[in-house]
A and B are shown apart, each in its own frame.
Chain A
Amino acid sequence: MTVKNNGSHSLTWLEDHGDYLFRYALLKVKDTHLAEDMVQETLLAAIASWSSFTNQSSVRTWLTAILKYKLLDHYRRQGREVAISDLVDQDEDESLDNFFAASGRWIDRPDAFPSPESAFQRKEFWKVFEECLSRLKPRQAEVFLAKEVYGMSNEEICKDFALSPTNTWVLMHRARLSLCKCLKIHWPDLDGLIEETGTC
């Protein structure tokens, strides 16, 4: 009877979190079919380990954690060396030393980006954007995607990821700094399109 209940839970999970898990997986594996398989494997594993779910985390956080281990398995099967911290990084207390000097000044001063329209028309831009998203630290990526790509509200994010508003701001700030820096480094067209440079 328990198994049956878990099975019907899993249909609700698919309904409520299927798209979320799919997008998360897609950003990592960049292959639609593989991402779909990852969602399926995650839900099957979730049924099997439902008893280990504690109400301390939200269902989405729990399912995402399972998905991360599925992704790790996948990378390992491919023979890729992936540190667990690349996917399941709890320690994101890294300082902002890469971005700011001790005085609080920018190390690399932000440039003006070109107009969004000119960038968005280029296929190359989207490749770089996707790549930069997938390079974010796991926790930053989750929160940034939830907010900016999936359009979740601040309240939903705090609840779903069990974060305080302050934690959320910190993660968003880091994610945004990292993305801006990554775009600047990896987007070859950017320099030609920049209108002005910063002086602070």
Chain B
Amino acid sequence: MLNCKQASELASQAMDEKLPFRERMALKLHLLFCRSCANFTRQLAFLREASYRFRTHHDLHLSDEARQRIVNTLKDKQDCG
């Protein structure tokens, strides 16, 4: 039987790839009986959704102006070199 620490590790791993059958079943069984770990797995899904929104709602790219400014500086450096 898994303890909560082990279950939380598997729950996290399961977010990133398919677990082997044995681990998948062990986790499922643990989650049936453990509200805390079931909550944790929902928190993981929440984090994933929040991260996705964070990426799409925030402008996390260098602006064209900034990019051009940096290109110019790098080119200057290149010419001076």
Contact = CB atoms under 8 A, between A and B. Distances in A.
Interface of A: 3-4, 6-8, 10-11, 14, 18-19, 22-23, 26, 32, 36, 39-40, 43-44, 47, 96, 99-100, 103-106, 109-113, 116, 119-120, 126, 129-130, 144, 147-151, 154, 168-169, 172-173, 176-177, 179-180, 196-200
Contacts of B47: 148, 176, 179-180
SS class of chain B's interface: helix, strand, loop or mixed?
A: helix
Interface residues of B, number: 47
Nearest to A108: B36
Please provide the 7 A-B residue pairs with the shortest distance between their CB atoms, ordered closest to farther: A104-B3, A7-B78, A3-B81, A198-B36, A200-B36, A148-B51, A104-B5
Contacts of A144: 51
Interface of B: 3-6, 8-9, 12-13, 15-17, 34-40, 42-44, 46-55, 57, 60-63, 66-67, 69-71, 73-75, 77-78, 81
Given A6-B81, A36-B63, 9 more contacts: A3-B78, A6-B78, A7-B77, A7-B81, A14-B70, A116-B53, A119-B50, A176-B43, A180-B40
